[in-house]
Chains A and B, each alone.
Chain A
Amino acid sequence: MVEPFLHRNLYVAPIDAFIDPPRPQARAIVTHGHADHARPGHGTVLATPDTIAIMQARYGEECAGRFEPLDYHVPLLVDGVTITLIPAGHILGSAQVLLEYEGQRIVVTGDYKRLPDRTAQPFEPVACDLLVTEATFGLPVFQHPDPALEVARLLRSVAAFPARAHVVGCYPLGKAQRVIALLRAAGYEAPIYLHGAMLALCALYEARGIGLGELCHALDVPAGELAGQIVIAPPSALRDRWSRRLPDPVLCMASGWMSIKQRARQRGVELPLVISDHADWNELRQTIAETGAGRIWVTHGAEEALVHHCRQQGLEAEPLALQAYEDGGEDED
């Protein structure tokens, strides 16, 4: 294959734009609103309307010089490159970027998952020549269970310990709303109590048409009344004084890393919930096969194993060492 028009730092040369650049750039295409992908200070940001709304909620209306909203599946031609955003299933507004130029098709997945999620537009595989895939959970030990079963475990524990509050550590953007939606789907209708860090983003999801049921700010009720209730808080609040005011809290954590019990123990988590917004090993392999790409660039996580797998399939594969993606960035998952 000819040398791709996408550079290994995700620079799209013909249109002078970067995908998810960690530092301010004149032109950025942003796959989704998580802080390690969406940074403030770019000149122009091209993203889905949901992602733009998330960026503006987190960083302020003026966090980029100009926003160019682009709906899913609507091709945009810029200087000979056709850009199309395709749902990635990761969080609300998350997109894969399809780039077509001089007969080459390149897809940058951003973060993605394939399990159903009422709070994110569902992933679609896209045929391409070069696939740039994430690999957060790119090891065969990661085989995510059905999230409905994990939520059922949470509800069983809530029923078994009516005198204790269950505080669930969730990343505030995406994971929190998904866990709430899963609880609702499991028939849990009681109010769900939120840490202050969750309020704005849950309101944003609701405003954009994703119903989450009755939500209350946890600080608005006396701590004692939270016995037997479910509280959603950022992971950092689990070990913090914040959760110590709750009645004998059961520390829970919703994350793909929770399948490893030693990780759960290290964080002092009593009830690990394996709920991930990233593709697991099987989904990663399935996606690579379905795109038909002959060339795979692997980034964002356990690159080595996935590269090995691709090469065994006869594909050309290499790891991308993207800066600013921290080794084992375990909070955002």
Chain B
Amino acid sequence: MKAFAQLLELLALTPSRNRKIEALAAYFASTVDPDRGFALAILTGALTFKNVKPAVLREVVTREVDPYLFALSYDFVGDLGETIALIWPHQGEGEALPSLSGVIELFNTTSKAELPGLIGSLLTRAGINERWALVKLATGALRIGVSARLARTALAAMSGKALQDIEEIWHGLAPPYGELFAWLDGKAGRPEIDPTARFHPLMLSNPIEAGDFEKLDPADFAAEWKWDGIRVQLIASRGRVSMFSRTGDDIAAAFPDVVDNVFGDGVLDGELLVGHHFDPAPFNDLQQRLNRKLATHKHLTQLPAFVRVYDLLFDEDADIRTLPWSARRTRLEAWFGRHPQARLDLSEVLDFAGWEDLAELRRRGADEHGHEGVMLKRKASPYVPGRPKGLWFKWKRDPNVVDAVLMYAQRGHGKRSSFYSDYTFGVWKQDEIVPIGKAYFGFTDEELKQLDRWIRQNTVQSFGPVREVRKALVFEVAFDSAQRSSRHKSGVALRFPRISRIRWDKPAAEAATLADMQIFLEAT
């Protein structure tokens, strides 16, 4: 456990990506199985414990520490795990912690009723850094600036294997990854995995810049609407279907309405949406079905899901990723022709004469149908995993902007802890200001400091970690779209709000009114 705690601390504090990779590679090379496999699982978020939850930890700690002092401390520290590690009032003598796999086994085998006692005794036995690692392990929220990809990059660095070879099989493997390490150590071949578990890293787009158009020939590109859902990869093979999110999480269980209705084999790339008769509902509706393990009956009937498909990676068993987009599109249309679908449809290819023509189409699509923008795909391009330059572009609609008034500020968590970096803002409704959204910091460090100072000096009241401020500071807030919402007092909710400018110059009286918001609502 000690080595793992040291690794976590080093990862958390080393800003250099290369040094993180070195440290990870050194740890994987020098640590025995299954400890290193469990460490990998923790770093990649592949390990969760059924009964060990942040609420249990909180309960363990508040048994020992005054809840008011705990709340003040948490507000100050800004990270639950770190607060628990620092505030734990007992320090045991002697007996060291079990190994990492020992701790994991205890977490998995201890009954719910005995868990608080176990966690308490482990916290007491741990040194301060181990305590921090222990809490991170238990809450699953590492926040140490290591992505699953970085961990896999370190595996590649340690073994000399290609990153892509690791990524292809990654999703078919399970902790503690004995087979994987055997292959990486050169003691066995690459693990064979079920084809439906083989996630194929996605091809991503770059935002198009104003200067790009003159360099690009419209005849080389196909255009499609940019759908406001989430990107998924569907893999169907001999009656089994899996559905991965962009980051490779398998989300099939939450969308039985889709995965039980895929006919034919292949690997498809598309957008997950909800709505009746293939008519996409706003993202808010989809959101109600995301981050859930299972779907309820109400979800299945009121918010049925479907996938709008725009690419084919495998046609039946044949890998066609090296074919140009236009050939893949032809195969995709033929695939749909062979296999009539109930919950999949084809993304439309837009007709356009030139960039100006497409710009007009994009504007109308946004205003009249609420589309997020358009996608441009080079017709001659193969399917390249990652974010290659010059092949796929996203051309988002222009953001809407509104001048809103800062109402509340809260201390940020993680990297921004201790600064007031989380803001609620609103617009006028007659004589009062009603909230329309919340956004995190979107400024330079200097602006953040200025803003933090302003908030401290203009606080009217505090509610725990939240400060209500004098209604005097105007933010220019950019957002993708506005939707009606019964959860907000204003009746309006913004999609992707971000603070584009601080308007130190603008008097609050000149900020927008709720009536001004109506035109954004009518656009969707």
Contacts and interface: CB of A to CB of B under 8 A. Distances in A.
B72 A139 contact: yes
B123 to A, nearest CB: 13
Interface string A72-115: 00000000000000000000000000000000000000000000
B15 A268 contact: yes
B15 A266 contact: no
Contacts of B89: 140, 143
A327 interface: yes
Majority-rule SS of B interface residues: helix
B9 interface: yes
Given A140-B65, A140-B69, A261 B418 contact: no
Interface stretch (B78-86, B251-259, B376-384, B432-440): B78-86
Interface in B54-99: 65-66, 68-70, 72-73, 76-79, 82-83, 86-87, 89
Contact of A308 (B15, B68, B76, B414): B68
B296 interface: no
Given A308-B68, A309-B69, A145 B417 contact: no
A271 B13 contact: yes
Name the residue among B13, B78, B87, B456 with the largest chain A CB count within 10 angstroms.
B13
B73 A305 contact: yes
A308 B69 contact: yes
B82 A260 contact: yes
A269 B456 CA distance: 26
Contacts of B86: 141-143, 259-260
A308 B66 contact: yes
A123 B58 CA distance: 36
Nearest to A262: B417
B132 interface: yes
A231 to B, nearest CB: 19
Given A145-B128, A262-B417, A328-B418, A304 B72 contact: yes
Which of the four size classes fits the interface of chain A?
A: 20 to 34
A270 B76 CA distance: 21
The number of chain B residues touching the other chain, given as a range, is: 20 to 34
A272 interface: yes
Contacts of B238: none
A66 interface: no
A105 B73 CA distance: 32
A272 B9 CA distance: 10
Interface of A: 139-143, 145, 259-266, 268-272, 302, 304-305, 308-309, 312, 327-328
Interface of B: 9, 12-15, 65-66, 68-70, 72-73, 76-79, 82-83, 86-87, 89, 128, 132, 414-415, 417-418, 456
30 contacts: A139-B72, A139-B73, A140-B70, A141-B76, A141-B83, A141-B87, A143-B86, A143-B89, A260-B77, A260-B86, A260-B417, A261-B12, A261-B13, A262-B79, A262-B415, A263-B417, A265-B12, A266-B417, A268-B15, A269-B13, A270-B13, A302-B76, A305-B69, A305-B72, A305-B73, A309-B66, A309-B69, A312-B66, A327-B456, A328-B418
